[in-house]
A and B are shown apart, each in its own frame.
Chain A
Amino acid sequence: MKKIKIIFKIAFSLIKRNKKSNFFIGIFLLLCLTGFITSFSIYQTTNRLFDKYSDLYKSSHELRIINTRNLDINKLKNYLDKDDRIYGYNLDYAYKGIVEINKIDVSVIISEISPNSSINKLKILEGEPKAYPELNEIWIPSGLASKFNISLGDKIYINSIDGKKEYTTSAIVYDVLFSSPLFDPTRMWVRPGQLALLESLQTDKKASLSIRAKNINDYNKIITDLDKNFPESIVILNVSYDTFKRIFNILNNLASYIIFIASFLLLIICSFIIFFIVSSEIMKEYTFYGVYKGLGFKTNHIKHISSIKYFFIILLILPISIILSFVFSRIILNVFENSMGLDYLMPKLFIPTLMGLFIMLIIIIVTNLIANNKLNKIKPANAIRFGYSSSKIIKNNSKIPNKNLLIFFVFKEFKIQKLSNILIILLLSVFSLLFFSAVIFHNSFDDILRTESMIGITQSDIVLQQKNTLFNVESKNVIVQLNDLEFISRVVPIIRIFNNWVFHNDERIGLIGFAFDDYSKYPDLSLKEGRNPINSNEIAISKILSHKLNKNIGDLITINIEGKEAFFLITGYFQIISNNGYGFRLTTEGFKKINSSVDYSWYSILIDEKYDFNKAHEEIYNRYASNFSVETIEKIKESILGMLNKNITVLLITIIFIVSLICGLSIYNMNYLNLLDRKKELGILKSIGFSNNQLIIIQLIKMAILTTLALLIGIIFTTLTLPYLLSVILSGFGIINIENLNYNFINLMLSSLIIYSIIFFSTFLSNKSYKKINLRELIIE
């Protein structure tokens, strides 16, 4: 017991003795521990968030918008009431169409609130708590509010039989299914009875059917049985729980991947740096260890002293680490909250702290065990007399200094500080790998988003979207009229197919479908492999769908399209982002075999370059705005993908910022610790006439060379690993094959400049502090 007390006392006194160096060691351990706790906290806080909120607010497992023309509503209600697998359902009026928000046309579903509903609970985040909105008021989801910057009192204009009707935003609500700004179309709520006022009596009415199963595993079967029993119902839109969940988790999964990779790399660096610190400490304290051994301490006792010293430091930094982890977690979670329209997320810290602590302790124990092997070899007398001296025979042939004395000392630094320099290169390589990866990822993702085929359509300048899907303006007329306009160079009619899915291992995967007349005319509808369909029984599917179903070109696939099963031969693979990448392409004939009454509802238009784009846009708008939404392709892409891109950008910037901070502080620490170790040598150099600036310049040149090497290693590893990593990370977006990464030279140069700046700044700061210490203190103490 006495021995243990003594060991603890010595460890504690060692901390007090080398306050400065232990302070910087503490800073470094703080950064590592904070990194671990933050990454675990983010994972734990966001893990299964969708399921939790879904259960809490009794969200539906299926949402459909159905045309009630041929439907016996009472028969449907009776059927649903009798199905005891169903927890609850809502069957209400629905409006699906375009609304104007801040002069932007947005595709929405408007539902009437069922006051007594047992499912789809809403939480009012802003606005007066009420059962439902008042007349001419509307409630909007938080995701939509953040996407379009909508506040209480803002006006929303809904197309009605009497023209545009003005609704006032009276509440911003949280709905699990629709609060993510990434979901399109989104949903709004009005009071019961309000929707009937929007459409004429001749217009086919739509109903919104939401079903929640008692057991989540039953909902697919419930829907399949429903379709069998009600084949006459015309489903306009159909979204399953799995689709909602996938969209909800997009950013969560992305952040988790990135944070996991960063944490893993941090773990490796941490291990090396702690090993380096422990080894350096042993060299510095060699004489004292010789004294301890001379006094009768065993080697194990000394190893324990070393470990206990670091445990003490970790205990001291733990409260600060928890606070910092909370702050960093909140910063990252704030991105989730904004993108997913979530309420305030309280970071979970207890288990992450325990895990982070556990990992740090393991690292310290293992690195101590390895580094402290030197202690076995200590002969007390030699240690006391001579301190640490390497047993290596150093080759010494005087190199005549180059013309530049400072460069000579830089290369001497490389020779004598091999381990430290390797660690710095390792740290900087990881840093530059993460930095370059983030920049290239962002550029490449931006490129992907720019390609129209990623949202399923051909290259376009303007897109016309039919406003009323049941009473389309006849496409033949539209195509002829558009082709007659001299400023239009190409018109591509498109059928967008809704309510499609495939079954896979009891999972119902919702699909988005497109049909084109003749794919040979549209080379911009590119494929990853194979060809687009030519015959009516052929289909091209998305790459991620083929992976999921394990289907290859030449295989048959069964797809449920608008309630009917159809078989197709797979002819090729493509990639899209819409609907998380799950989609297919048919020929127009192929789709008409399933639904003969269907007609084209979208028209992709290319404007001839010779003409003024704005004038052309205005002309098309004036001609077609009454029946079509007339949007530029940029606006459409922005509405589908803009929020996603913005949030990914914010997430990447946040992560780069945190990684830069960690790197900058680590370099500062390592340099400062290095200087503390070599105080005497610095003092001697100053005493013979080296200026402070010369000493700083030596370090800056050294760091410039190391950084350059690290940047090269970073870019090489980025090139090798990023395509694979992106495939994994972006698979949630439907992208699993990235061929051409965007190595924008200017962006990479800028990134390199930023990295150099961070490193130089850290190095300069760490060296600057020595200006204030006088020579006597440097040499003598």
Chain B
Amino acid sequence: MKKIIFQLNNVNKTYQTNSHNVHAIRNLSLDIYEGDFTVIMGSSGSGKSTLLYLISGMDNFNSGEIKYNNFNINNLSEKELIKLRRKEFGMIYQGIHLIPYLTIFENVLTTLMLIEKNKKIAIKKSEEMLLSLDLQKELHRLPSQISGGQQQRAAVARALINNCNVLFADEPTGALNTSQGENLLNLLSNINNSNKSIIMVTHDLKAACRGNRILFLKDGKIEGELNLKKFLNDQSLDEREEEIYNFLRQRGW
């Protein structure tokens, strides 16, 4: 029996714009399981990014309940949320969002130093992390001095350095070319294979097929769910892609 890490009950989120309210998430209930590579798919404006930020505690919701390991995220104090961000959650964004005036190494190291007080250990871990992502030559370069793919790998390094339990990814391949995107997805698959939970938002089928649980969002509601085989060895990427495609076509999406 899989352990539930996130429980969403009747969650609602509304944005206020100048002219009207946008009901981005409507009475959404959902469980997310530990170790899953959960993919949230949907067309533009379906609310998938909103959902991701709600689950990660980066945005507030209007009503309902979101629990992480039985703790209601909405009831957590700022101090407790910071603890989650430092130790439990890692985040990678479409726009990459490294601190522009810090080198790759400094971006990763400063994140780790929020929880690791021993400087020597922190330096060693950061170097090892960047090495494992094939960034050893780019350690002392600024984000603006490396390619998009390298930047995204650096962002992954920063997200993983605190040994987080859950990795959130918002359109991580959005700013990358095909080969860079593929490399990143391979990396995420490897991370998931080491039993880290990943929750990823994408509209790209090629990215989606890396997940073992695909959730389809439309107008703020989950309209469908597709479970794929957990390991890529058991099902090829093409097969997975085709399965998702057929699922969507059957529903006329």
Given known A396-B140, A397-B140, A405-B114, contact A691–B79 (CB-CB < 8 A): yes
Cβ of B205 within 8 Å of any chain A Cβ, yes or no, is no
With contacts A689-B82, A776-B59 taken as known, whether A412 is within 8 angstroms of B119 at the C-beta atoms is no
Q: Does B23 contact A (CB under 8 A)?
A: no
A27 CB-CB contact with B under 8 Å: no
- Contact among B58, B78, B91, B105 with A398 in the assembled complex (CB-CB below 8 Å): B105
Within 8 Å CB of B119, what residues of A?
400-401, 403
A681 lies within 8 A of chain B by Cβ: yes
- Contact pick for B99, options A403, A681, A689, A692, CB 8 Å: A681
Contacts of B85 in A (CB 8 A): 686-689
Interface-located stretch among B141-149, B180-188, B189-197, B229-237: B141-149
B114 touches A688 (CB 8 A): yes
Given A398-B139, A400-B119: A691 touches B113 (CB 8 Å cut-off): no
For residue B158, CB closer than 8 A to chain A, the reply is yes
- Measured in the bound complex, the distance between the Cα atoms of B212 and A654 in whole Å is 71
Asked whether B101 lies within 8 Å of A412 as measured between CB atoms, the reply is: yes
CB distance A396 to B103 under 8 Å? yes
A775 partner residues in chain B, CB cutoff 8 A: 53, 58-59
A776 vs B119: C-alpha distance when bound (angstroms): 31
B119 to A: closest C-beta gap in Å:
7
A271 to chain B, nearest CB (A): 28
Main secondary structure on A side of the interface with B: helix
Cβ-based interface call for A680 (8 A): yes
Q: Please tell me if the beta carbons of B106 and A401 are within 8 angstroms of each other in the complex.
A: yes
Q: How far is the CA of A400 from the CA of B109 in the complex (A)?
A: 9
Query: How long is the Cα–Cα vector from A389 to B100 in the complex, in angstroms?
Result: 11
Q: Is B46 an interface residue (CB 8 A)?
A: no
B141 CB, nearest partner CB in chain A, Å:
6
- Bound CA–CA A412/B142 (angstroms): 13
Q: Provided the pairs A401-B110, A405-B113, A684-B97 are in contact, do residues A774 and B78 lie with their beta carbons within 8 angstroms?
A: no
Give the shortest distance, in Å, between A218 (CB) and chain B (any CB).
Answer: 74
A611 within 8 A of B: no
- Select which of B78, B101, B145, B162 is within 8 A of A415 by beta carbon: B101
Q: How far apart are A374's CB and chain B's nearest CB, in angstroms?
A: 18
**Number of interface residues, chain B, beta carbon within 8 A:** 37
Is A398 in contact with B115, judged by CB distance below 8 angstroms? Answer: no
Does A503 sit at the interface, judged by CB under 8 A? no
Structural contact, B58 and A680, CB atoms closer than 8 A: no
Distance A403 CA – B111 CA, assembled complex (angstroms): 14
Shortest A387–chain B CB gap in Å is 11
Could you tell me if A688 and B111 are in contact, using CB atoms closer than 8 angstroms?
A: yes
Q: Output the least CB separation between B204 and chain A (Å).
A: 19
Does B102 have its Cβ within 8 Å of any Cβ on chain A? yes
Is A408 an interface residue, CB under 8 A from the partner?
yes
Q: 8 Å CB contacts to A: which residues of B41-98?
A: 49, 53, 58-60, 78-79, 82, 85-86, 91, 93, 97-98
B123 at the interface (CB under 8 A from A): yes
Q: With A and B bound together, what is the CA distance between A408 and B114 in angstroms?
A: 13
Q: Is the CB of A687 within 8 A of B101?
A: no
Among A415, A689, A771, residue most surrounded by chain B Cβ atoms (within 10 Å): A689
CB of A12, distance to nearest CB on chain B (Å):
17
Chain A residue with minimal CB distance to B105? A398
The reply to whether A680 and B97 form a contact with Cβ atoms under 8 Å apart is yes
Cβ-defined contact, A774 with B139, below 8 A: no
Please name all residues of chain B whose beta carbon is closer than 8 Å to the beta carbon of A624 when the two chains form the complex. none
Residues 389-426 (chain A) with a chain B CB within 8 angstroms:
389, 394, 396-401, 403, 405, 408-409, 412, 415-416
A690 part of interface (Cβ distance < 8 Å): yes
* Most B Cβ at <10 Å: residue of A399, A680, A687, A688: A688
Q: Is the CB of A408 within 8 A of B97?
A: no
Q: How far is the CA of A202 from the CA of B86 in the complex (A)?
A: 100
Assess the B113–A401 pair: CB atoms within 8 A.
yes
Residues of B within 8 A of A684 (CB): 97-99
For A409, list chain B residues within 8 Å (CB).
110
Given A389-B144, A775-B58, A776-B53, is A412 in contact with B114 using a C-beta cutoff of 8 Å?
no
CB <8 Å contact, A394 and B142: yes
Contacts of B58 in A (CB 8 A): 687, 774-776, 779
Partner of B103, one of A398, A405, A416, A680: A398
Q: Which residue of A lies closest to B86 (CB)?
A: A689
A435 to B43, CA, bound (A): 61
Interface status of A378 (Cβ within 8 A of chain B): no
A685→B99 CA distance, assembly (Å): 8
Residues in A174-197 with C-beta less than 8 Å from chain B:
none
Does B100 lie within 8 Å of A681, measured CB to CB?
yes
Given contacts A389-B144, A398-B140, contact A691 B78 (CB under 8 A): yes
Chain A minimum-CB-distance residue to B114: A689
Please give, as numbers and ranges, the residues of chain B lying within 8 Å of A779 by CB-CB distance: 58, 93, 97
What are the 8 tightest A-B residue pairs by CB atom distance, in nearest-first order? A689-B86, A775-B58, A776-B59, A689-B85, A398-B103, A416-B101, A689-B114, A776-B53
Add 5 more A-B contacts to A397-B140, A401-B113, A771-B78 (CB < 8 A): A397-B103, A401-B110, A403-B119, A688-B86, A689-B82
